[in-house]
A and B are shown apart, each in its own frame.
Chain A
Amino acid sequence: MRGRISSTVLWIYFIFMVIFLFLPLAVLIVFAFNSGTSPTLPLQGFTTRWFEQAFSNGELVQSLARSALIAVAASLIATFFGIMAALGLSSKAVRGRSLAIGALLLPLVVPYISLAVGLLILLQALKIHHTLLSIAFGHAVIALPFSLLVILPRLRSLDRALVEAARDLGASAASAFRLITLPLLVPALISSSIICFTTSFDEFAIASFLYPSGQPTYPVFLYTGSRSPQTLPQLIAIGTLVIAVSLLIVGLAEFGRRWGERRLEGRVASALAEKARAELPRLDDIVTPV
């Protein structure tokens, strides 16, 4: 009986929390279609004009494109180095492994604001002009640990016998990697790319210091635009689309991951928890071998 009561209380608590967590998203979605010019109650009426305005706002659309471009570049760079580091670390013969691991996971704990000002100083010292590429590199380095934390466990879980069999059959190390390891890593590589992409796409601190003049990224534009009541409704409208796409990607990634897991290993649904851990890994992953 007591158990029943406490689980009812927990259910109520859970529902309350979910409402709390979704409240801001709901507010964005509702006011994206509200014809009033500011997010106030009561609601004024249904409109899609904020979407029309948003799409005809060249600066907004360009900032989205810019962020997407940076995120793709950052994701490619981070995943490239992520595979490299995972391959290296999965070898038994690494000297200075702890130094390497410490360095590779360092970006997880360095506060972004300190890193951002450091990069600003570095670019100035080297007299490098601020370009979108410099932001992409900054984002790649903060995404690299995420990439590594997704790829390395996957690489370890692969059956080494497959690679060794290929080698015994005469394949070179390179072709064994290309023919055996890489295809098996595909689900992890997709996960890594998505995580790196979203990390970069949402990053504000580094971008706000490094963006080339007149070329803000989407979060930077969002920040400046949010202060202006005239552009706020448009930002909310575009924001709901960004949210919808993000949730869709999360859903698809989850689906794909499960499918991949099942196909390759027949693993159980707890893969979700691992994936969620991998997508939100910060300190825990450095210290928690689950």
Chain B
Amino acid sequence: MKTLRKRTTTGGQALWTWPPVAFVFVLVVVPLIFVALYSVGLRSNIPGTKTGFDLANWKDFLFGPTNPFRALFWHSMTITVVVSIAVTLAAYPLAYFLSFVARKNRYTLLLLVLAPFFTSFLLRVIAWQAILNENGVVNSFLMWTGLRAADDPVTWLIYSNFAVVLVLFYSWIPFVALPIFVVLENMDRRLLEASEDLGSSRLATFLRVTLPLSLPGVIAGFVFVLIPTTGEFITPLLVGGTDSQLFGNQIQSFFSVSPDWNYGSVLAMTLIIVVLILMLIFGRFLSADLRDTSTRSAR
């Protein structure tokens, strides 16, 4: 009697899974289907336009001899990878510090690192704008102290690739420090002791034990940055110049100023495909190493 009742209730409970799935389906999958339909010309936003299956936009984007959008795509991906690598390199010592040096206060200090990122992203970019402007904090400081002539501001600080990379770098540091920190925290410290007992130097221990064991966190952090940066458009919009706009800006612009939603949809679909590919590549690395972590936390 009891087992029977339990089975029916849990079976009923399982059904609760599906309304939320339907919700996501309607609000994420269906919109993306529409994007896909637009990208192959099956729909149009301009009333009265004839529609029909047409791969011309895809062909143009993928194979057009001098397609500027494809060139921009590669440029953006390069920026994305550069930012991701730089952030990961900068975040590692931070995580290492929190986990190994700041033992006692590490959670307080971690909160200190994370705190700025609970505040508005847009506000922080605007603050950077105020810092980097030609009449902003940095330049006015240089002029005030006489390091720079009053009518000769440093112009590459803003509306440049430098500004875009700096602000993206700034924005992602904690996102990367966090997973590395978590992995370092979960690491079996006895392994490090063993390594040192066996006569390894601290450096050798770090290189041979700590670093390899923390790779899942490093990769997770790297992917943390990689995926959202592929579609980034707000930062270049606010601090980028005409030559530092990213792929995301093209998508935004295709849908907000150009009537050509069909071509914009090709770019938007490209981004989705890229993200799925990134998941395929990096997910494998992650899951292989994470089985290890999960057994440890169960310990």
Contacts and interface: CB of A to CB of B under 8 A. Distances in A.
Interface in A232-258: 232, 235-236, 239, 242-243, 246-247, 249-250, 254
Contacts of B228: 111-112, 282
Interface residues of B, number: 116
Interface in A13-39: 13-14, 17-18, 20-25, 27-28, 31, 38-39
Interface string B103-132: 000010111111111111111101111110
Contacts of B279: 109, 283
Interface stretch (B9-17, B53-61, B64-72, B154-162): B9-17
A243 B119 CA distance: 5
Contact of A273 (B15, B181, B234, B255): B181
B151 to A, nearest CB: 14
A125 B123 contact: no
Contacts, number: 325
B121 to A, nearest CB: 6
B123 A242 contact: yes
Interface string B187-214: 0000000000000001000000000000
A104 B21 contact: yes
A164 B5 CA distance: 11
Contacts of B34: 118, 121-122, 125
A40 to B, nearest CB: 4
A251 to B, nearest CB: 9
Given A13-B94, A109-B275, A226-B129, A103 B21 contact: yes
B130 A236 contact: yes
Nearest to A118: B31
B251 interface: yes
Nearest to A290: B297
Contacts of B144: 41-42
A81 B20 contact: yes
B23 interface: yes
B130 A223 contact: no
Most buried by B among A202, A272, A288: A288
Contacts of A272: 107, 110-111
A222 interface: yes
A279 B256 CA distance: 31
B35 A85 contact: no
Interface in B121-155: 121-124, 126-131, 133, 135-137, 140-141, 144
Given A84-B19, A144-B23, A222-B122, A283 B182 contact: no
Given A119-B31, A226-B126, A88 B94 contact: no
26 contacts: A3-B202, A14-B97, A18-B113, A28-B127, A42-B144, A85-B16, A85-B17, A88-B14, A88-B20, A91-B14, A103-B25, A114-B251, A117-B251, A124-B45, A173-B12, A205-B252, A222-B120, A236-B130, A247-B118, A254-B111, A270-B107, A272-B111, A276-B114, A282-B224, A282-B228, A288-B179
Interface of A: 2-3, 6-7, 10-11, 13-14, 17-18, 20-25, 27-28, 31, 38-42, 81-82, 84-85, 87-95, 97, 99-100, 103-104, 106-107, 109-115, 117-122, 124-125, 137-138, 140-141, 144, 148, 164, 167-168, 173, 198, 201-202, 204-205, 209, 219, 222-223, 226, 232, 235-236, 239, 242-243, 246-247, 249-250, 254, 269-270, 272-273, 276-277, 279-280, 282-284, 286-290
CB-based closest 7 A-B pairs: A118-B31, A88-B17, A111-B231, A24-B127, A88-B16, A40-B140, A85-B20
Given A114-B271, A119-B31, A290-B186, 16 more contacts: A91-B10, A104-B21, A113-B268, A114-B231, A115-B32, A117-B35, A117-B268, A226-B238, A250-B115, A272-B111, A276-B110, A277-B179, A280-B174, A282-B227, A287-B220, A289-B293
